[in-house]
Amino acid sequence: MKRAIITGAAGFIGSHLTEKLLAKGETVVGIDNFDPWYTPRIKKQNLSSSLKNESFSLVQEDLLSFDLSSVLQKGDVVYHLAGRPGVQDSWGSGFSASVENNILATQRVFEAALESEVQRVVFASSSSVYGSSATSLSREVGPISPYGVSKAACEQLAQVYRFRGLDVIAMRYFTVYGPRQRPDMAMNRLFRAALPGDYVFPLRGTGAQRREFTFVEDIVDATMKAGSPDVQQIAEPFDIGGGVSASLSEVIEKVERIVGSSIRVDLQPAAKGDPLITVANTEPAQKILGWQASTELQDGLENHHVSMLEALQLTQ
Ligand SMILES: NC(=O)c1ccc[n+]([C@@H]2O[C@H](COP(=O)([O-])OP(=O)(O)OC[C@H]3O[C@@H](n4cnc5c(N)ncnc54)[C@H](O)[C@@H]3O)[C@@H](O)[C@H]2O)c1
């Protein structure tokens, strides 16, 4: 029986991946320590429907101390999504959490996966490895934040373990949005600042910064394709981006139109380590994975809005 092992299963992306793999009939083991970086209550809610599924089991453990090889079996596919995301919190003393939960945890996952002869590890890297250097002409890795450095180190670890025989594929996710988006992320904050309440959106910089926003279902689709035995192992990380970039100002306008009210904004200086633009090259993902993002930003935002309303229990 094919098994999927998902680290970070209770998180934003991990919980969607868990649901999709269960819906496909797979047996899923989720591993998460319910890190209190943001409230574990949200993470419990993220897993509420999966926990009712008999094919799902949850291991509530910290990858930094847990012996993952005690769970892994030969032939498993490991989706390693656990980590400490977030550029801003990786500065200063926050870097130790990035080092521990990204670099150290990933090295432990790769080591256990190699020992257990799993079929493949697919892991979550980030567009942050590029910093500002990803343009349509250049794809140089050049992080400009400590978080980006930690993800670039994970990619190098993947290379090291690949040389030792581990089948491992890196996915560089570009700004993911959609239902259950982490509370620190822009779309979630924008909706909160447009919906009734006191929350004010801290607009860092001019709003001209452009991102390839990628809907979470598209991210999950790409990640599952990378876990398929039909896809050959590939050393080059995949860019997984939404296909069209939009500025933060454009997103603000769209959110205001969807909600039907203005966003409460507090203008602040530009954030450290925030690239002006991110550009994905999705050609390799199209050719090798047969994947292309299919969700328009407008549709994804409307979907995100509905889920925010549900979460805030504003719907009837
Ligand atoms: N959301 C994005 O836009 C985005 C973009 C690029 C890359 N990524 C990467 O994708 C992955 C998932 O991101 P997300 O937005 O779903 O984040 P998330 O914080 O919602 O999910 C991460 C999960 O990992 C768990 N975790 C953290 N450290 C752990 C540890 N030591 N042991 C066990 N569990 C641990 C957390 O409790 C959390 O539930 C992360 O690796 C992140 O860096 C996310």
Give me the percent of the chain exceeding a pLDDT of 70: 97
For β-strands 201-204 and 56-59, DSSP reports them as unpaired
Going through 181-311 in order, the beta strands assigned E by DSSP cover 201-204, 210-212, 214-215, 238-240, 245-247, 265-268
Q: Which residues contact 27 (CB under 8 A, 6 or more apart)?
A: 1, 2, 3, 4, 55, 56
pLDDT at 136: 65
Q: How many angstroms separate the alpha carbon of residue 20 from the centre of ligand 1?
A: 17
Overall average pLDDT of the 14-24 stretch: 98
Q: ∠ at Cα 14 (12, 20), nearest 5°?
A: 110
pLDDT of 315 > 60? The answer is no
Q: What CA–CA distance (Å, rounded) separates 37 from 30?
A: 19
Q: Exposed (0-12), middle (13-18) or buried (19+): which is 148, by Cβ within 10 Å?
A: buried
Mutate to test the pocket of ligand 1, among 5, 18, 32 (most ligand atoms within 8 A of CB): 32
Overall average pLDDT of the 234-257 stretch: 95
CATH number (1.10.8.50, 3.30.300.210, 3.40.50.720, 3.40.50.2000) of 3-246+269-311 reads 3.40.50.720
In angstroms and rounded to an integer, the radius of gyration of the C-alpha atoms of the chain is 19
pLDDT at 132: 80
Alpha helices in 66-145 (DSSP H): 95-98, 105-115
pLDDT at 261: 95
The phi and psi torsions of 267 (rounded to 5 degrees) equal -75, 130
State the DSSP string of 15-61.
HHHHHHHHHTT-EEEEE----TTS-HHHHHHHTTTGGG-TTEEEE--
Q: How many angstroms separate the alpha carbon of residue 25 from the centre of ligand 1?
A: 24
Around ligand 1, the residues with Cβ closer than 6 Å are: 8, 10-14, 31-35, 43, 62-64, 81-85, 101, 105, 124, 126, 173, 175-176, 182
Total-model pTM:
0.97
**70-119 pLDDT, tens digit each:** 999 999 999 999 999 999 999 999 999 999 999 999 999 999 999 999 99
For β-strands 3-7 and 27-31, DSSP reports them as parallel
Between the CA atoms of 297, 272, 173 and 183, what dihedral angle is there, to the nearest 10 degrees?
A: -70
Overall average pLDDT of the 260-279 stretch: 91
For β-strands 77-80 and 120-126, DSSP reports them as parallel
pLDDT of 36 > 90? The answer is yes
**282-308 pLDDT, tens digit each:** 999 999 999 999 999 999 999 999 999
Q: What CA–CA distance (Å, rounded) separates 60 from 79?
A: 16
**133-186 pLDDT, tens digit each:** 677 667 889 999 999 999 999 999 999 999 999 999 999 999 999 999 999 999
> Please, which pLDDT band fits residue 21 given cuts at 50, 70 and 90?
very high
pLDDT of 316 > 70? The answer is no
The amino acid that residue 172 corresponds to is R
> Please, which pLDDT band fits residue 44 given cuts at 50, 70 and 90?
very high
Average pLDDT of the chain, as a whole number: 95
pLDDT at 2: 80
